Amino acid sequence: MKRIFLILLTVVLCQQIVMAQSKKREFRGAWIQAVNGQWTGVGRDQMQRTLTYQLDELQKDGVNAIFFQVRPECDALYQSSIEPWSRFLTAQQGRAPQPYWDPLKWMVDECHKRGMELHAWINPYRAKTKTTHELASNHIAIQHPERVFTYDGQFILNPALAENRAFICHVCGDILRRYDVDGLHYDDYFYPYPVAGQPIPDQQYFAANPRGFKNIGDWRRDNVSLFVKELCDTVRAVKPWVKVGVSPFGIYRNKRSSDIGSNTNGLQNYDDLYADILLWVNNGWVDYCVPQIYWEIGHKAADYETLIRWWNQYCGNRPLYIGEDIERTVKNADPKNPASHQMPAKFRLHEQLPNVKGTVLWYAKAAVDNIGNYGTMLRTVYWKHPALQPEMPWIDKKAPKKVKKLKAVDFGQGPMLIWTAPKGKTWKDEAVRYVVYRFRKGERVNIDDASKIVAVTGLTSYELPAEKDKSTWVVTALDRLSNESKIKKVKH
């Protein structure tokens, strides 16, 4: 049996290698969450060791962006004067870590060293999860209980209140001013997921101030959309290069609810969570969208192929990255190829759909643990070569100047490339990362060939291999929006 399995695996691997194409620009993200309790009370040293290992493995897998959960329930996995330290870090809300450290600051530095982006992931409205039983004295629900409603054991910041929108924007502005994050990311928790027999307790707010809406559903959607627009404006005012992204539930609307709905039968963003994702995307209030298409191909209520094709058709006005559930992908067989799990089929769909510009893995640890050989296939096939981030010309499209003083040197510990950063006057032309290409003897220098990328790094040096094979090495500079400079090259 083992021999047969290895033969089948080899066949599948060969099929994948033939199919896989190297993309020069592709978003390759992974979520690192806190609410599963993986960091609760483990202490600074153990958490840093675990995160270091995870980041190293994810870098080998080709990941170029991390979504790090920093605000699970109006709390903070970073130093904040606005909200209390998270219990998901220290086991008691409001208690500072001992010995003291700042996880967000540390993660920004570690990701940037590896050439990765760091997107600060917040839950905007959730003020208390079901499993939290004690809140700190400076928590918003303690200081302003009138601004929170209770639902299914949770506390929710009431989206109807303008002061709550302002509060969330204030928190996010504080993060942006003090941390060099590349993105601000929020997920699918808008109005709470509905529970049978539990109405949302906001009818009196609708009656008091309907703002011209006759339907409470339209009013709730407008409440959330007002926040999304205000958050976008906040980010643009504080740090215009920071990308704003959302990861909505995987179904926008079902066909029975709308002519443009998907042929599915499940919970709906628009009707149940009061999130009009297409409005936000089409108005440019978000810079990227990551629908959580966590189901398998062939799922009866929410077929993966149906949904990814729907999002590709209707949500292409901003880069579309697909939220992938690793565990479901590898535990289900491909209906058209029962010898294989669904990773090849799903990546094939990504290749075929023009508006799909990347993938975000749910969740990072599953890739690191190499469930179903998923991590191995990323690093050896699909994400074998590093990739640059997709461009966002509506924010900035001007490239930085090329690097200076590129040369190959040996200080006694092996050959290295070193260079000097180009001068930049503003964030639009400041170099923050660099791309290193290798072209072997006889190969034409062509930086459009993604297979020639050997590294994307935040450093101004690169350790060369010890082999004697003469190559042309090319280095380019990237600005904060991954606009790429002209080349600088050297032979070694």
Which tens digit of pLDDT belongs to each residue from 255-305?
Answer: 999 999 999 999 999 999 999 999 999 999 999 999 999 999 999 999 999
Q: Residue 398 falls within a domain, yes or no? A: no
Q: Residue 397 falls within a domain, yes or no? A: no
Instruction: Give me 84's structure tokens.
Output: 């209390």
Using CA atoms, how far apart are residues 358 and 152, in angstroms rounded to an integer?
Answer: 35
Nearest to 132 by CA among 110, 108, 153, 158: 153
Note the pLDDT of residue 414: 85
Q: Do 376 and 408 fall into the same domain?
A: no
3-state DSSP of the chain: CHHHHHHHHHHHHHHHHHHCCCCCECEEEEEECCCCCCCCCCCHHHHHHHHHHHHHHHHHHCCCEEEEEEECCCCECCCCCCCCECHHHHCCCCCCCCCCCCHHHHHHHHHHHCCCEEEEEECCCEEECCCCCCCCCCCHHHHCHHHEEEECCEEEECCCCHHHHHHHHHHHHHHHHHCCCCEEEECCCCCCCCECCECCCCHHHHHHCCCCCCCHHHHHHHHHHHHHHHHHHHHHHHCCCCEEEECCECCCCECCCCCCCECCCCCCHHHHHCCCHHHHHHCCCCCEECCECCCCCCCCCCCHHHHHHHHHHHCCCCCEEEEEEHHHHHHCEECCEEEEECHHHHHHHHHHCCCEEEEEEECHHHHHCCHHHHHHHHHHHHCCCCCECCCCCCCCCCCCCCCEEEEEEECCCCEEEEEECCCCCCCCCCCCEEEEEEEECCCCCCCCCHHHEEEEECCCEEECCCCCCCEEEEEEEECCCCCECCCEEEEC
Structural domain total, the chain:
2
Cβ neighbours for 276, distance < 8 A, ≥ 6 positions apart: 221, 224, 225, 269, 270
pTM, two decimal places: 0.95
Q: Residue 395 falls within a domain, yes or no? A: no
Q: Residue 96 falls within a domain, yes or no? A: yes
Q: Do 374 and 411 fall into the same domain?
A: no
Note the pLDDT of residue 468: 76
Burial class (CB in 10 A: 0-12, 13-18, 19+), 467: exposed
The bridge status of strand 356-362 relative to strand 65-71 is unpaired
Here the CATH number for the domain that contains residue 473 is 2.60.40.10
Note the pLDDT of residue 166: 98
Q: Do 377 and 411 fall into the same domain?
A: no
Q: Do 358 and 436 fall into the same domain?
A: no
CB 72 within 8 A of CB 123: yes
Note the pLDDT of residue 21: 65
Q: Do 312 and 375 fall into the same domain?
A: yes
Q: Do 327 and 283 fall into the same domain?
A: yes
Q: Residue 228 falls within a domain, yes or no? A: yes
Q: Do 290 and 413 fall into the same domain?
A: no
Q: Residue 115 falls within a domain, yes or no? A: yes
Nearest to 184 by CA among 259, 266, 240, 258: 240
CB 360 within 8 A of CB 67: yes
Q: Residue 109 falls within a domain, yes or no? A: yes
Using CA atoms, how far apart are residues 154 and 131, in angstroms rounded to an integer?
Answer: 9
Is the Cα dihedral 138, 142, 145, 151 positive or negative? Answer: positive
Q: Do 6 and 129 fall into the same domain?
A: yes
Q: In what order do the strands lie in the sheet with 488-491?
A: 453-457, 433-440, 471-478, 488-491
Q: Do 443 and 359 fall into the same domain?
A: no
Nearest to 65 by CA among 245, 239, 300, 312: 245
Q: Do 142 and 13 fall into the same domain?
A: yes
Using CA atoms, how far apart are residues 358 and 103, in angstroms rounded to an integer?
Answer: 26
Using CA atoms, how far apart are residues 125 and 123, in angstroms rounded to an integer?
Answer: 6
Q: Please list the pLDDT of the chain residue by residue as tens digits (492 residues).
A: 444 444 344 444 444 544 456 799 999 999 999 999 999 999 999 999 999 999 999 999 999 999 999 999 999 999 999 999 999 999 999 999 999 999 999 999 999 999 999 999 999 999 999 999 999 999 999 999 999 999 999 999 999 999 999 999 999 999 999 999 999 999 999 999 999 999 999 999 999 999 999 999 999 999 999 999 999 999 999 999 999 999 999 999 999 999 999 999 999 999 999 999 999 999 999 999 999 999 999 999 999 999 999 999 999 999 999 999 999 999 999 999 999 999 999 999 999 999 999 999 999 999 999 999 999 999 999 999 999 999 999 999 999 999 999 999 988 788 999 999 999 999 999 999 999 999 999 999 999 999 999 999 999 999 999 887 889 999 999 999 999 999 999 999
Nearest to 131 by CA among 150, 154, 97: 154
CB 254 within 8 A of CB 264: yes
Here the CATH number for the domain that contains residue 48 is 3.20.20.80
Question: Any idea which residue has 């202490």 for tokens?
Answer: 43
Q: Residue 389 falls within a domain, yes or no? A: no
CB 421 within 8 A of CB 477: yes
Q: Do 434 and 306 fall into the same domain?
A: no
Using CA atoms, how far apart are residues 365 and 360, in angstroms rounded to an integer?
Answer: 13
Burial class (CB in 10 A: 0-12, 13-18, 19+), 217: middle
Q: Do 280 and 226 fall into the same domain?
A: yes
Instruction: Give me 357's structure tokens.
Output: 């510009």
Domain that holds residue 418: 404-491
Cβ neighbours for 383, distance < 8 A, ≥ 6 positions apart: 26, 28, 61, 62, 63
